[in-house]
Amino acid sequence: MKTLFNRFASLAAVGVFAIAGYFTAGCNSDGTVSQDVIKGLDGFGSIGQGLSSGLKVHSAFHKANEKFGAIDEYHLGRATAAQLIAEYGLYNDEAATRYLNQVGQTLAEFSNKPETYSGYHFAILNSDDVNAFAAPGAFILVTRGLLRCAENEGELAAVLAHELGHIQREHALLAIQKSRNEKFLAVVGTEAAKTAAGDQRAEVGNILDGMSDDVLAQLKNGYSKTQEAEADGDAVIILRSAGYDPNSMIGLLQKMESQLKPGHADFSSTHPKTADRIASIRSKITEAPQALNPSRTARFNTAMAAARGK
């Protein structure tokens, strides 16, 4: 059986997946109107142009509001992960990647979304930036810079639990829906303008085009303060349920804050102020800090020594 590292290496080689619709005469498989029909109407003068414009808007509306299926989510997340790997590079340490997956898979079992279409996938990005990303389809990628901030397994678990919070709440998918609706409104405006101008040549693009770019931009720009707070709150619950000390989140955030470098694309540019996050997290924790588990510490040090090195 291939290791997850090999699967991600193949992922980087494959590159970005395109999500395309299937067209038949008359209607697409999703019930929207085919481009052949729209092109045919464009030849019938002003009446045809009006009907053509209306059908394009109708098609865009369906694309904007259809539910994103599990397979679509997987391929979109895979494409987004491939883009991140192409940009940052994949860290080639099979032992560290296997250990990361062991911790991550364990935590996922205690999330509200323990199963996904293709399971959870965890990988390490070869970057000094202090950051982590949760793409649709349960792809979670952590930078080496962030791994250097985590000094024990509990703090590593805190990173992954936060990203699992984003996945179980489908924050990335909500961003996709927002992008779809914006594209739909753009189609409406474009078609109205074209009808008034009598321009018959321009075509409405597939409203799914560029979705992986949209997701990547969302991951880099960050979620709202509310969504980040939700992910932090979920992380506390996941850590507690999986037998980890939720106080690990506070220690990790303090270390992350001390490692920030001016000008880097790190978590400080995409997350609320660290002091505010710590205060919010503390309000959700009832347990006193726990002593480190010796066996967990030993396996963390063994597996992550090289990945956390300079």
User: Over the stretch 85-139, which tens digit does the pLDDT of each residue have?
Assistant: 999 999 999 999 999 999 999 999 999 999 999 999 999 999 999 999 999 889 9
For the chain, which residues make up each domain, given as ranges?
Answer: 89-172+217-304
Amino acid letter, residue 64 = A
**Residue 123 bridge partners (DSSP):** 141
pLDDT score for 82:
93
| Residue whose tokens read 């503390």 | 282
pLDDT score for 298:
97
**pLDDT tens per residue across span 14-24:** 332 222 222 22
Q: Judge whether 303 and 95 are in contact, CB under 8 Å.
A: yes
pTM: 0.70
For 141-192, give the secondary structure using H, E and C.
EEEHHHHHHCCCHHHHHHHHHHHHHHHHCCHHHHHHHHHHHHHHHHHHHHHH
CA-to-CA distance for 246 and 243, rounded, in angstroms? 9
- pLDDT, mean of residues 16-33: 34
Pairing assessment for the beta strands 121-125 and 139-143 based on DSSP bridges: parallel
* Alpha carbon 161 to its chain's center: 14
Amino acid letter, residue 265 = A
pLDDT score for 4:
38
Q: 31 to each of 34, 36, 63, 161, 260, how far by Cα in Å? A: 9, 14, 10, 39, 50
* Residues recorded for the chain: 310
Inform me whether the pLDDT recorded for 295 exceeds 70.
yes
Q: Which of these ranges, 92-101, 170-179, 207-216, 221-230, has the smallest mean pLDDT?
A: 207-216
Amino acid letter, residue 39 = K
CA-to-CA distance for 194 and 191, rounded, in angstroms? 5
Whole-number mean pLDDT of the chain?
75
Inform me whether the pLDDT recorded for 202 exceeds 80.
no
Q: Judge whether 78 and 7 are in contact, CB under 8 Å.
A: no
- pLDDT, mean of residues 36-61: 44
- pLDDT, mean of residues 154-158: 98
Token duo for residue 278: 């710590």
